[in-house]
Amino acid sequence: MNTNRLGQSDLYVSAMGLGCMTLGTDEVKAAAIIHEALDHGINFLDTADLYDEGRNEEIVGQAIRHRRADIILATKVGNRRIPGQEGWSWDASKSYIRSAVKESLRRLQTDYIDLYQLHGGTLEDEIDETIEAFEELKQEGVIRHYGISSIRPNVIREYVQRSGIVSVMSQYSILDRRPEESILPLLAREGISLIARGPLASGILTEHGRSKAERAYLDYTAAELSELHGQLMQQTTLTRTLTQTALQYPLADPAIAAIIPGASSLAQLRQNIASATSPPLSALELEAVRKVSKAGRYTVHL
């Protein structure tokens, strides 16, 4: 598995990481998927304190406790759960970030986090206070680097201009090309990496994804998705699988440090690994994919 430098940091992440949100709560099954990933050269694991009310962090921490030094571990903060209540509220305050990181460290069974990410963000936040919290944690050695997970271009631009983020995590796929239009050029100029989540678009961009395309996705109707899936399948049948095309598409941009598809089974993980380690898309393949998919047609969140 190739590795890429994350921004201008000293972190080198595997080109495909493991998005841990889909692991589930079966500890044995989840640990098997994590260890299989590590054994195949994946060194980048991404979780969040929000997933399964913190249980995901606990499962990841238990699975990697004897292999921690070999892993670039990322988690997120900002969505605050209130004990005894359903749902969560947004809290990007310095005091909350400093308290939440302690709980993440406990659940992950580690004394440092490689990449700590703000799990959202709005222009109404006290952004300087949020940045100060991350900078203090970095100075104290609690985190090595920090980033932001967001689909909001205006929020991302604020952090690019005002903070020391090394990465932006954002949804990016053949079906969701918003980063191309809004942030990729900026990130490339500033030496900040994009981590692409959702590269398979909830499974739509796989060989059996037409059944998942029966409902709308972003601004695509179900009918448009079905037609697009068929067109992509026709293009890829002779040269590579649709999963290979989908996972290689984001990696074609040099600003992308890693893709992080999820996996809920060993078979799914192995298919993703095979696809992510397949040859890069050629210029002709990229052109063909871009002609089929549609840019400039999504709702932009500010």
Buried b (16+ CB within 10 A) or exposed e, 155-172: bbebbbeebbbbbbbbbb
Residue 137, strand partner residues: none
Q: What is the pLDDT of residue 237?
A: 64
CA distance 251 to 207: 19
Task: Work out the pLDDT band at 42, boundaries 50, 70, 90.
Answer: very high
**In this structure, what token pair is assigned to residue 120?**
């959202």
Q: Where are the beta strands (DSSP E) in the chain?
A: 3-5, 12-14, 18-19, 44-46, 72-77, 79-81, 88-90, 113-119, 143-149, 167-171, 193-197, 256-260
pTM (two decimals): 0.94
Overall average pLDDT of the 171-179 stretch:
95
Overall average pLDDT of the 169-190 stretch:
95
Residue 48 pLDDT greater than 70, yes or no = yes
Percent of the residues in the chain that have a pLDDT greater than 70, as a whole number: 96
User: Could you say which of 51, 172, 217, 298 is catalytic?
Assistant: 51
Q: What is the pLDDT of residue 125?
A: 94
Residue 300 pLDDT greater than 70, yes or no = no
Within 8 A by CB and 6+ apart from 191, the residues are 7, 8
Q: What is the pLDDT of residue 213?
A: 65
Q: What is the pLDDT of residue 302?
A: 45
Residue 102 pLDDT greater than 90, yes or no = yes
Residue 295 pLDDT greater than 70, yes or no = no
Q: What is the pLDDT of residue 85?
A: 72
Which residue shows structure tokens 């997120």?
76
pLDDT digits (tens, 9 = 90+) for 191-215: 999 999 999 999 999 998 877 766 7
Q: What is the pLDDT of residue 22?
A: 94
Give the side-chain half-sphere CA count within 13 A for 69.
1
Of 103, 14, 17, 109, the closest CA to residue 60 belongs to: 109
51 assigned to active site: yes
